[in-house]
Structure 1
């Protein structure tokens, strides 16, 4: 058997060059990509932990505020009861009938004061709960503040009467409010959604409105379609206050 050493040497050089090329143009980029993914995952975990810590702090703050309000209410009630007893003792000498009349009036005033105080504290607690929820919403990833609400807007549009749905494009491009400026992909996704719901291609104009907290809103001439956290929180607060009055 005869070995061609030159051929063997050239093949060895080829293998070494191939290994170098694989290391230079394949393995190193892949390793860099893996490192980037690991760094991104670590950041997401850190952000989630920070959000959890903030939520626990807000919860503790709410509990402390509730305790303070309860203590204040008890002090006010005790003071009112003490005042009522003093007034009762002062008028007993003037006759039982007058004393009973005054007692009833004082008790009614105490009950009214108690209800007003409880209502005030309940309203403060409801508003505080909604404010905490609004702060937590700001922790959402920026992409989720838009993409997570497109399907909801589509459902709300489909729920409109046909005449209201048809009138949305009467005045030109559909006006869309978003919590922030949209990316090209987000704009394209919203246009595609509207085209599917309305049955024809549409153009949109976008206005950034950070007060929405997260989500979208369409302000058409004859219909306002909302799918955002600000509208949800406002509705929740109205329901809480309405339930409290009931």
Structure 2
């Protein structure tokens, strides 16, 4: 086989020229286009990644806002419930206070009414006792209104402290004796003798008539008082009855 070197050389030159033409007018533009497309695709991918990252960030932000809203809502509900509980407690406390005040006022009114009834009853009992005592005394000798009470007055003086007895009738001050009626001379003398014996010295005496005593004698001084009369007895009985009535009520 014989090789035509001229033909082979020309063909080689043609191939090289073709390759140069292709590389210049086809491969380079195509490579440029491919490179540009790759850059565009890379840019699109970068933008897509950026958009995705932004979307993820927005999603996380939205989720955080939702969580914050839920927490705020829960806190608001808790605050509202707490405020409602406080208001409810305040309303209940006010209601209890009003009920206590009303109950106290009612109890005070009832107690006042009972006290008034007890006082009125005691007053009626006292007046009745006075009437009964007066009617009974009317059936006794008039001397019984005084004579029977002189000894009791002496015992009352003896029961006083020494300082109180010493002050009675001191410095010439007359002893004030109250009587249910005017004393006879004998009764006055008996009272003076009783005072001298009980006090251990002579004292002046004045007598004042007080029919409210019903019967009996009383001594009234700035330092001591001795009550030995029906009125004093009735007052003590009335006080005791009133006290028992108050306790029983």
Q: Normalization by structure 1: what TM-score?
A: 0.51
Q: Which residue of 2 aligns with 1:132?
A: 128
Q: Secondary structure at the match of 1:126?
A: helix
Aligned to 1:157: 157
Q: What whole-Å deviation, never above 9, does each CA across 1:113-141 have from its counterpart, x for those lacking one? A: 76655544333222211111111222313
**Can you list the C-alpha shifts for 1:126-185, whole angstroms capped at 9, x where unaligned?**
221111111122231321111111111111100100111011011422211111110011
Q: Name the structure 2 match of 1:78.
A: none
Q: 1:114 to 1:138 in 2, by over 3 A?
A: same
2:212 equivalent in structure 1: 211
Secondary structure in structure 2 of the residue aligned to 1:180: coil
Give the total of aligned pairs: 146
Does the CA-based 8 Å contact 1:171-1:221 persist in structure 2? Answer: no
Structure 1: give runs of 5+ residues left out of the alignment.
1-100
Helix, strand or coil for the counterpart of 1:226? strand
Question: What's 1:27 paired with?
Answer: none
**Which residue number in structure 1 is paired with residue 183 of structure 2?**
182
The residue correspondences of 1:53-132 to structure 2 (distance < 5 A) are 117-132=113-128
- Match of 2:203? 202
Partner of 2:143: 143
2: distance between equivalents of 1:225 and 1:111?
39
Q: Any stretches of 5+ residues in structure 2 without a counterpart?
A: 1-95
Question: Using the alignment, how far apart are the partners of 1:191 and 1:113 within structure 2?
Answer: 52
CA contact (8 A) 2:114 2:246 kept: no
- CA RMSD between the two structures: 2.9
Contact 1:175/1:204, CA 8 A, preserved across alignment: yes
Deviation by residue 1:44-98 (Cα, 9 ceiling, x = unmatched): xxxxxxxxxxxxxxxxxxxxxxxxxxxxxxxxxxxxxxxxxxxxxxxxxxxxxxx
State the match for 1:238 in structure 2: 239
Pick closer, same or farther for the CA change 1:118–1:204 going to 2, 3 Å. closer
Name the counterpart of 1:227.
228
Do the aligned partners of residues 120 and 169 (structure 1) sit closer, same or farther apart at CA in structure 2, a change above 3 Å counting?
closer
Tell me if structure 1 keeps the 8 A contact 2:125–2:238.
no
Residue 182 to residue 114, structure 1, CA distance change in 2 (3 Å): same
SS of 1:143 mapped into structure 2: helix
Secondary structure of 1:138 counterpart: helix
Contact 1:174 1:218 in 2 (8 A): yes
